[in-house]
Amino acid sequence: MSEKLQKVLARAGHGSRREMEAWIAAGRVSIDGEIATIGDRVEADAKVRIDGRVVSIKSSEEVICRVLAYHKPEGEICSRKDPEGRTTVFERLPRVRDGRWVAVGRLDINTSGLLLFTSDGELANRLMHPSHEIEREYAVRTFGEVTDANVQRLRMGVTLEDGPAHFDRVKAAGGEGINQWWHVTLKEGRNREVRRLWESQEVQVSRLIRVRYGMIELPKSLPRGGWVELPLEQVNYLRQMAGLEPENRTFLGTDKHSTDRAKKVKSAKIRRAVRKHSTVSNARKKPSRQRS
């Protein structure tokens, strides 16, 4: 049975469905030698190329949905490439065969914490759709006096430049003086929304960490710059939230021996990635020597 081209490419991990539609509209995709158009459908034996390079297309039965939880450090951007040479969130991720990781949403350069990646672009596309209203929780350190009236307004709602917004919950989490920690939750993912909400009360955000996405929490043992593959139970929780059929396969071992071994291998990969990335980042920060 034929399927829409953008859906097949997204499911295979070449990008989100929205990205694939943009690529098709730009003439970057061909089917059996002919430039593709939006709405084209493909059969399983079709030869599909992106920018002239043959790419893998698979049926839903052939694709294993994988999800990574990544501990994004501050200073990384959520783009695949950056013309300014800044570090991207994709640089430390493991390779995925016949596809690529797709980020589920974004965190701005000065925000750290939980960022999810999946090999299934259709899953990413659905999770990012505003209609699903998946709750996000952030730990926020504020600088400035926060009154009860400020907190009440943040709960009830304020008007930002792109419309009304509010936190579903605002909970004090300690601190000293005018440096206070809060835990806030909201179900939207608008650009810099958490910071802008606090700034509407003339309160500065000095630290922002995403600690939860839906029921997926940032693992306490996961170092900044580290990643961990989610087990099948959590993968299917996300698929259920997105209205997709459950996955019944996983790259993770199910018996204790293979699970323990996978944890050791994964920990070693994380340590290597963090060390390698720290070395590269430090090298980028060093000023180049000028010849006299």
Q: Which residues are catalytic?
A: 108
DSSP 8-state secondary structure symbol assigned to residue 213: E
Cβ contacts of 288 within 8 Å, gap of 6 or more: none
CA distance 47 to 91: 29
Q: Are 111 and 192 in contact, with CB atoms under 8 Å apart? A: no
Q: List the structure tokens of 137.
A: 């929780």
Please provide the distance, in angstroms rounded to a whole number, between the alpha carbons at the two ends of the chain.
68
79: amino acid identity, one letter:
S
User: Could you tell me the sign of the dihedral formed by the alpha carbons of 148, 151, 155, 158, in that order?
Assistant: positive
Residue whose entry in the numeric block shows the structure tokens 């070395």: 279
CA distance 255 to 94: 23
Residue whose entry in the numeric block shows the structure tokens 């400035």: 144
Residue whose entry in the numeric block shows the structure tokens 């790419």: 55
Q: CB count, 10 Å around CB of 104?
A: 25
Mark out the alpha helices in the chain (DSSP H runs).
Answer: 5-11, 17-25, 121-127, 148-156, 193-199, 232-241, 256-285
DSSP codes joined into one string, 56-83: ----TTTPPP-EEEEEEPTT-BSSS--T
Least Cα distance to 210 among 77, 66, 106 occurs for: 106
